[in-house]
C-alpha cells in the first residue's frame, strides 16, 4: 500500500462499520460488545506497539496478525524492547472470537517510537514531565489508527474511553463532554481532538458506570470481565522510568545543587530527569522541611525546592492549544481549568497570546503546575479545549 489517501477518496467505507481499538481490557472489550448489540458491523483492532522479548514470541504464533504497515514517512528501524503484553493481544483476540467479530493486530511500533516514546524521553531530559498516554491517544489512536480503520472499510473508530462525544444541533460541530461516571471520566484526554477526528468517533461507554460495564462483560461471559486495570506507563512494565531513560537513550545522570527559593544550596540532586514539580519524597535533604520541588533549571542544572505554599502558582502559559466548540479564541474566556490527569481544577480566565498559545490565570493558586503536562478547559461538563503547559508564574498561598 502507498501513502494514506483522504477519506473521501477511499471506496467501500461504511457508516455501519466501526473499528474498536481493543487493548485486551474490560472497557474496550465491552465497548465492542455494546456496539455489536446496537447493530453495528464491528471489527476489532489491536495495536502492537513494539516487539516483546523472546520468551513471549511463542504466545504470538496463533494471532495471525494482519500486516497493515502503510508507509507514510521514513521511520527509523530500531524498535523498543517491550510494550503492551502479548497476553493482552491474546485476550483481545479471545474477546473478538467470543462476540463474533473479526480481529486484526496492527503493527504500529515505528510510529509509537516516533510519536510517543522519543518525545517522552526528550521532554524528561529537558526538565519537563510528559504525558505519554495523551500523546498515544492524540497521535496514534485518534489519528493513525483511525485512518487504518478507514482502510478496513470502517467509517467510525471507537475506544474504551469514558467520554461523551455529541453533535451540536445548532452548528453541526462535534462536542466532547465529561462521562456519566465522574470517577472514570477521561474527557481530558480529548482536548486535542479535531472535528475530523470527532466526527468519526463513537463513545459507547460515556453513559455507563464502571460497575455496569463489568456487569455487562460478566453477563456476556467475556474472558476479561474481572481483569484488573493497568496503572503503569504501558511501555515501562516495572514503572521505573529512571531505568528506562538510562537504557533507552543512555541518560547519564549529572548531579547538581539543590537550592531553596532564595538560592541557598541545601543539598545535591541525582539528575534533573529524576524529579518533577510537587515531588516531596526522595529529595534527600533535611532542614526546616518538608521540602517540595518547585522548579527545575536545566541550564544551570539546579533543582529548586520550597515549602508547601511555594508549590502553588496562579498563572501559566500553554502552547499547542486546541479548542473544540470553536476554531479560535478571540478574547477572554471564563472556564474551570484542570492541570494533570485527575489533577486540581479551579476557576480561571484564558487569554489568547498568539495563534498557538494562551495565558491561563487562576482565581486561586493551583498546586503543582508542571511543564509538559496538559491544562484542560471546561464549562460545566463541556470540554472547551486545552494545551501543553510550557511555563508558570505567580506564586501564592493556597486557600484552605
Question: Cβ distance 151 to 1 under 8 Å?
Answer: yes
Catalytic residue among 84, 121, 136, 188: 136
Q: Which of 84, 121, 188, 234 is catalytic?
A: 234
What are the C-alpha distances in Å from 237 to residues 59, 83, 87, 145, 232? 18, 7, 13, 23, 7
Q: What is the 3-state secondary structure (H, E, C) of the chain?
A: CCCCCCHHHCCCCEEEEEEEECCCCHHHHHHHHHHHHCCCEEEEEEEECCCCCHHHHHHHCCCCCCCCCCCCCCCCCCCCCCCCCHHHHHHHHHHHHHHCCCEEEEECHHHHHHHHHHHHHHHHHCCCCCCHHHHHHHHHHHHHHHHHHHHCCEEEEECCCCCEEEECCCCCCEEEECCCCCCCCCHHHHCCCCHHHHCCEECCCCCCCHHHHHHHHHHCCCCCCCCCCCCCCCCCCCCCHHHHHHHHHCCCCCCEEEECCCCCEEEEECCHHHCCCCCCCCCCCCCCCCCEEEEEECCCCEEEEECHHHHEEEEEEEEEEEECCCCCCCCCEEEEEEECCCCCEEEEEEEECCCCEEEEEEEEEEECCCCCCEEEEEECCEEEEEEEEEEEEEECCCCC
Alpha-carbon dihedral sign for residues 18, 382, 386, 332: positive
| Cα 302 to Cα 217: distance, rounded to the nearest angstrom | 51
Active site residue 133: no
Contacts of 236 (CB under 8 A, 6+ apart): 244
Give the number of C-alpha atoms closer than 13 A to the C-alpha of residue 310, restricted to the C-beta side. Answer: 17
84 flagged as catalytic: no
Which residues does the annotation mark as catalytic?
136, 234
Amino acid at each position: 500500500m502507498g501513502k494514506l489517501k483522504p477519506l473521501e477518496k477511499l471506496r467501500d467505507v461504511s457508516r455501519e462499520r466501526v473499528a474498536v481499538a481493543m487493548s485486551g481490557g474490560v472497557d474496550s472489550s465491552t465497548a465492542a460488545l455494546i456496539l455489536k448489540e446496537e447493530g453495528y458491523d464491528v471489527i476489532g483492532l489491536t495495536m502492537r506497539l513494539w516487539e516483546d522479548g523472546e520468551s513471549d514470541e511463542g504466545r504470538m504464533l496463533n494471532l495471525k496478525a494482519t500486516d497493515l504497515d502503510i508507509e507514510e514517512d521514513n521511520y527509523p528501524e530500531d524498535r523498543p524492547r517491550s510494550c503492551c503484553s502479548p497476553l493482552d493481544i491474546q485476550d483481545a483476540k479471545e474477546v473478538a472470537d467470543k462476540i463474533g467479530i473479526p480481529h486484526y493486530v496492527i503493527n504500529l511500533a515505528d510510529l509509537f517510537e516516533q510519536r510517543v516514546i522519543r518525545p517522552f524521553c526528550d521532554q524528561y531530559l529537558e526538565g519537563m514531565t510528559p504525558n505519554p498516554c495523551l500523546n498515544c491517544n492524540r497521535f496514534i489512536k485518534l489519528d493513525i489508527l483511525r485512518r487504518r480503520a478507514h482502510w478496513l472499510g470502517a467509517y467510525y473508530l471507537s475506544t474504551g474511553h469514558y467520554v461523551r462525544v455529541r453533535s451540536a444541533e445548532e452548528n453541526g460541530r462535534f462536542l466532547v463532554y465529561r462521562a456519566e461516571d465522574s470517577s472514570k471520566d477521561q474527557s481530558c484526554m480529548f482536548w486535542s481532538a479535531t472535528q475530523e477526528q470527532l466526527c468519526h468517533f463513537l463513545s459507547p461507554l460515556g453513559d455507563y458506570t464502571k460497575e455496569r460495564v463489568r456487569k455487562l462483560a460478566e453477563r456476556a461471559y467475556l474472558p476479561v470481565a474481572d481483569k484488573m486495570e493497568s496503572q503503569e506507563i504501558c511501555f515501562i512494565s516495572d514503572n521505573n522510568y529512571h531505568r528506562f531513560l538510562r537504557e533507552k537513550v543512555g541518560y547519564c545522570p549529572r548531579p547538581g545543587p539543590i537550592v531553596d527559593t532564595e538560592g541557598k544550596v541545601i543539598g545535591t540532586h541525582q539528575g534533573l530527569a529524576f524529579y518533577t514539580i510537587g515531588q516531596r519524597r526522595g529529595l534527600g535533604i533535611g532542614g526546616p522541611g518538608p521540602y517540595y520541588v518547585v522548579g527545575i533549571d536545566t541550564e544551570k542544572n539546579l533543582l529548586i525546592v520550597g515549602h508547601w505554599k511555594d508549590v502553588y502558582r496562579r498563572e501559566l502559559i500553554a502552547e499547542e492549544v486546541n479548542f473544540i466548540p470553536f476554531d479560535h479564541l478571540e478574547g477572554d474566556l471564563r472556564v474551570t481549568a484542570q492541570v494533570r490527569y485527575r489533577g486540581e481544577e479551579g476557576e480561571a480566565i484564558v487569554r489568547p497570546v498568539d495563534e498557538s498559545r494562551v495565558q491561563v490565570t487562576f482565581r486561586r493558586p493551583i498546586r503543582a503546575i508542571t511543564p509538559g503536562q496538559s491544562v484542560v478547559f471546561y464549562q460545566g461538563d463541556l470540554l472547551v479545549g486545552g494545551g501543553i503547559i510550557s511555563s508558570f508564574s505567580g506564586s501564592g498561598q493556597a486557600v484552605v
